[in-house]
A and B are shown apart, each in its own frame.
Chain A
Amino acid sequence: MIQIKDLHKSYHMGTNSLHVLKGINFDVKEGELVSIMGSSGSGKSTLLNILGMLDEADEGQYILDGVPIKNLNEKIAAQYRNQFLGFIFQSFNLINYKSALDNVSMPLYYKGVKRKERTEKAMHYLEKVGLAQWSHHLPSELSGGQKQRVAIARALASDPKVLLADEPTGALDTKTSYEVMDLIQGINDEGKTILVVTHEDDIAHMTKRIVNLKDGVIIDDSPVEQIRASAHV
């Protein structure tokens, strides 16, 4: 699903140059649930941004579902993001003046799906995350865990190939974190490929494979015994 070869990325600030990714190689197969770990500054967010086409690598190859991702203009990047990727953010990033339902249907809106179909689909995904009765509430009326579930529903709405989650539990307490992970595991069980960036060990062990990053290189990449989040809830 994802193939990355010798990926480099550096940031330039004035005369200083910061080499963040120093040759990353890894593949993700369809249906995997991978966590990317590392201390802050290890380059894990940069890697995720490049995977999410929000940022572009300086060097290296990135192939997503057979499509080489290279020299995209913003228009095509937007199209690919819409088509291939679903984002889950640490701070949820819901649009605060839109109801939960409207938030979920937004990727479908940009996909060009008709209004009626859009609402139906969005409702379907809200049901899936267990928030059907909250569909007309604004984000400000929801708890943190509920917000993240809305965000997950939004990420799923356009039926992407890969879900990218950047510290999805970073702003949640342990109990809600496990609830969210339970949901993510459930989605993975249905066959969706998911990448989770985290620095929490317990969260990482709820995935099926841990990739450890340090100073811009992968120091460890190994499958783990998945711990079911439901066991902790």
Chain B
Amino acid sequence: MFSRDRWDEILEALNANKFRTFLTAFGVFWGITILVLLLALTNGLKNGVTADFGDFATNSMFMWTRGTSKPYKGLPKGRNFNYKINDIAAIKSEIPNLKYVSPRNQLGGYNGANNVTRGTKTGAFEIYGDYPEFINQQPLDILQGRFISYSDIDAKRKICVIGTGVEKGLYDKGEAVLGTYVKINGVNFLVVGTFKMSNSQGDDEQDASTIYIPFTTFGQAFNRGEDVGWMAITAVDDVSITSLKQQVFDLMKFRHKVDPTDDRAIGHFDLSEQFGRVNGLFSILSLVGYFVGALVLMSGIIGISNIMLIVVKERTKEIGVRRALGASPWNIKSQILQESLILTILSGMVGISFSAFVVWVMNAILDNVGPVQNFANPSVDISVIVIALIILVVSGLLAGLIPANSATKMKPVDALRIE
């Protein structure tokens, strides 16, 4: 279909009126540029917002206790209660499809007082009592040594794993960390590992100002006994935590003598639901991107169709001559179709390259000024480009269809008579 002669024909025709060809092409160029840029920006927004979720296993929820709001079984309302360590085993045994149930305790926190000392250096850090599987819920990069193990839990060893922020605050540069002791609230802990947040984006510093110690040690050293501050619960991959959480709440209410209808008593944050909501939001945003981009592109395509109609009109006589010389209707049609196709694809390619360049510039600027709130790494993946190209080809054909038909509608004798 595309022989060299055909190429020559098409290029000659497009070259015959360069300015008009350029203006026509610009419509499609602009449409595809806007389409790709919209999708890239949506992607950037999505990357930025999902980075805030960190790497935490998304099919998870956090659950804590609040005061009861209803009296029940002779117990007054406004009663505080705590989860106990044996709740964990109960949840694990009674509710299937849960992957991890991690009890957690916490000391210190945002803007907390200094709670860790080493020699003359002190710092305010977040101290977590955790189980070994917590690292599967919150991925950490262990830089040196190891994470908490079950023998630490069983023996209630006073060991700790510290973040890079802690290391920076308590140690001199290049100082050996493993095997040293830090004093947390007056209790000495042996440092057995260091970590940083995997793929952390934004406030690394704060993320890594964290110390993990065995959950059992935490309870003993800081007088928590059997109490569990809160839990991080992750469901297996193909079951949503959202569908399981009510069972967990019911079990907890039963075990702690809370009115089954008392929804205030248990606080929770459903990461999966939030994540799903954000994901849904971005699916809609991409859809809007496609929609708006496609509409802008469509006006470009209508422009091409329009110009091709004028071109056909102007060349009515030429088309008549060609038919007198032996061009079949299909010869004429396919030439018009190919002209519009090439015009569309060519200008679309330029548009894609241009928007890719703009995205590259945006990324370069972002790299230079550092992270921006809720926006990171605007990009379009190859599938978007492929879709854009398919849209271009289809629309190029559509744009040429009406003009191509009108080109051969007129009888050659009438076409020749036109001056």
Residues in A lying within 8 Å of B, measured CB to CB: 49, 52, 54-55, 74-75, 78-79, 81-83, 87, 89, 91, 93, 95, 97-98, 106-107, 109-111, 115, 154, 158
Contacts and interface: CB of A to CB of B under 8 A. Distances in A.
Interface in B286-329: 317-318, 320-329
Interface in B398-419: 408, 411-413, 416, 419
Contacts, number: 66
A81 B4 contact: no
Contacts of B16: 97
B330 interface: yes
B326 A158 contact: yes
8 contacts: A52-B324, A54-B324, A74-B323, A79-B328, A81-B323, A82-B326, A93-B320, A158-B326
A81 B323 CA distance: 8
A109 B5 contact: yes
B149 interface: no
Nearest to A94: B321
CB-CB nearest 8 A-B residue pairs: A82-B326, A54-B413, A110-B326, A78-B328, A55-B413, A97-B16, A107-B325, A93-B321
Nearest to A87: B324
B12 interface: yes
B333 to A, nearest CB: 11
A106 B325 contact: yes
Size bin of chain B's contact surface: 20 to 34
A95 B12 CA distance: 11
A78 B326 contact: yes
B206 interface: no
A81 B326 contact: yes
Contacts of B283: none
Contact of A78 (B15, B317, B329): B329
Contact of A93 (B13, B317, B326, B411): B317
A158 B408 CA distance: 23
B136 interface: no
A157 to B, nearest CB: 9
A75 B326 contact: no
Contacts of B323: 74, 78, 81
B416 A78 contact: no
A89 B322 CA distance: 13
Contacts of A95: 318, 321-322
Interface of B is mostly: helix
Contacts of B4: 115
A106 B12 contact: no
**Most chain B Cβ neighbours within 10 Å, of A78, A81, A89, A158:** A78
B326 A79 contact: yes
A64 to B, nearest CB: 15
**Most chain B Cβ neighbours within 10 Å, of A55, A75, A81:** A81
B334 to A, nearest CB: 12
Contacts of A89: 321, 416
Given A93-B317, A97-B16, A107 B413 contact: no
Contact of B325 (A55, A81, A97, A115): A81
Contacts of A97: 12-13, 15-16
B317 A75 contact: no
B77 to A, nearest CB: 90
Contact of B322 (A49, A54, A106, A111): A106
Given A81-B325, A95-B321, A75 B330 contact: yes
Contacts of A87: 324-325
A79 B411 CA distance: 15
**Most chain B Cβ neighbours within 10 Å, of A95, A98, A115:** A95
B313 to A, nearest CB: 16
Nearest to A97: B16
A74 B324 contact: no
B386 to A, nearest CB: 35
Given A55-B413, A115-B5, A78 B321 contact: no
A106 B327 CA distance: 9
Given A110-B331, A115-B5, 8 more contacts: A79-B328, A81-B324, A89-B321, A93-B324, A93-B416, A95-B322, A109-B5, A158-B325
Contacts of B408: 74
Interface in B363-419: 408, 411-413, 416, 419
Nearest to A83: B326
A66 B281 CA distance: 74
A106 B13 CA distance: 14
Contact of A74 (B317, B325, B328): B328
A74 B331 contact: no
A97 B327 CA distance: 18
Contacts of A79: 326, 328
Interface string B181-205: 0000000000000000000000000
Contacts of A107: 325-326
Contacts of A74: 323, 328-329, 408
Interface in B329-385: 329-331
B417 to A, nearest CB: 9
